[in-house]
Amino acid sequence: MKVCIAEKPSVAKEIAQILGATARKDGYYEGNGYQVTWTFGHLCTLKEPHEYTSDWKSWRLEVLPMIPSRFGIKLIDDKGIEKQFSIIEKLMKDADAVVNCGDAGQEGELIQRWVMQKAGVHCPVYRLWISSLTDEAIREGFNRLEPQDKFNTLYEAGLSRAIGDWLLGMNATRLYTMKYGRSKQVLSIGRVQTPTLALIVKRQLEIDNFEPQQYWELKTIYRDTTFNVTKGKFQTIEEGNEFLKNVDGFPFTITDIAKKNGKEFAPRLFDLTSLQVECNKKFGYSADETLRIIQSLYEKKVTTYPRVDTTYLSEDIYPKCPAVLQALSGYEVYTQSLLNGQKLPKTKKVFDNSKVTDHHAIIPTNVKAGNLTDMERKVYDLVVRRLCRWKYSCSCCGKASTLHSYLCSGRHYGQLRDL
């Protein structure tokens, strides 16, 4: 029996349907030679200091720094987690092979590896690596499973991050709390939260201590056009008047006119950070809200994997783009010309394998979007329109080139700008 372990029950259900494991059991699906189970995100975590030695139970400066000779993991203290882990442990004990179906990224690798280590897996383990949850992507992923050892460096990167967070958080939090905490107030220190807080405090201090200063500029108007003196700003009016004396009385002569053709390129596709920024600007969504929404869209199969840090697509996505365009119901005004037999533009500004590591940029899938909430629809609309700005074909002359579409003086220009 092959045991597949996903990161969420909803993902396990999708995988089970594709594999034919349709019989629902307590904590897993079964059928067609497969058992598909799941975690709830993190089931395991690094042990607490006192679980390594009793000397680290009390907060004392003399025991710092706390550096375990070997880090260990434990189950998170939760009855639901303990029950699900016992099911996973039993399934894996009798498995002929295990397929790691966790999210294809550093954190997803770490989550599943810890569970398998805790369960004591000794059979062969394979990795499912997919960027979307469409039926097609899942089938393709199972047709090209990789040995888990191929992803050891990814796991080691996640483990190093977790250990680094533990060392800094546990030691620095105790140090600052004991030295500077008032009335036993815990001063939490973290790898991300502390530098972020420092940036906010620094910026606020700059705002609080800002002192506006007056300055003067020297300008002249010629034929309804304002010209500035290239010297720039003057700190005092006397300095400006002194400079004016040097040029006063001389004829104003235009010696050269330069004309440049500007190019406005299509914006990059979305990675998670740029999507969070755009959603905050347009809708006021927080970073957590945007992540929750795009994760939901991913689980509904209408967008690709969200936790990405690249704005490029891998070249193997290029032949799949027509199917994606075809599924974009309601966006025919932007996709119709490209679906009428014209070849899609392929440019290194979009397709570049060297700029893609774990996953490509966030794009819609070939699954038609339906049953979306208002917030989901807004985020999905942003993702689709960003993709269309690359793929848009000129309705005036038919050239399938984004750059041409931006520069074309035809009537569609305003429509494109509205994207």
Catalytic residue ranges = 305
| Distance from C-alpha of 36 to C-alpha of 30, rounded to nearest angstrom | 6
How do strand 73-75 and strand 44-46 relate by DSSP bridges?
A: antiparallel
Angle, CA 319 vertex, CA 154 and CA 307 arms, to 5°: 30
Residue type, 334: Y
If phi over 0 gives left and psi between -120 and 50 gives alpha, with beta otherwise, what is residue 223? left
Q: Is 109 exposed, middle or buried (0-12, 13-18, 19+ CB in 10 A)?
A: buried
Rg (CA), the chain: 29
Handedness of CA 93, 97, 99, 100 (dihedral sign): positive
Question: Can you read off the two tokens belonging to residue 225?
Answer: 């056009």
Sheet containing strand 97-101, strands side by side: 23-25, 28-31, 34-38, 2-6, 97-101, 125-127, 146-147
| 394 CB-near residues (< 8 Å, 6+ apart) | 337, 400, 401, 404, 405, 408, 410, 412
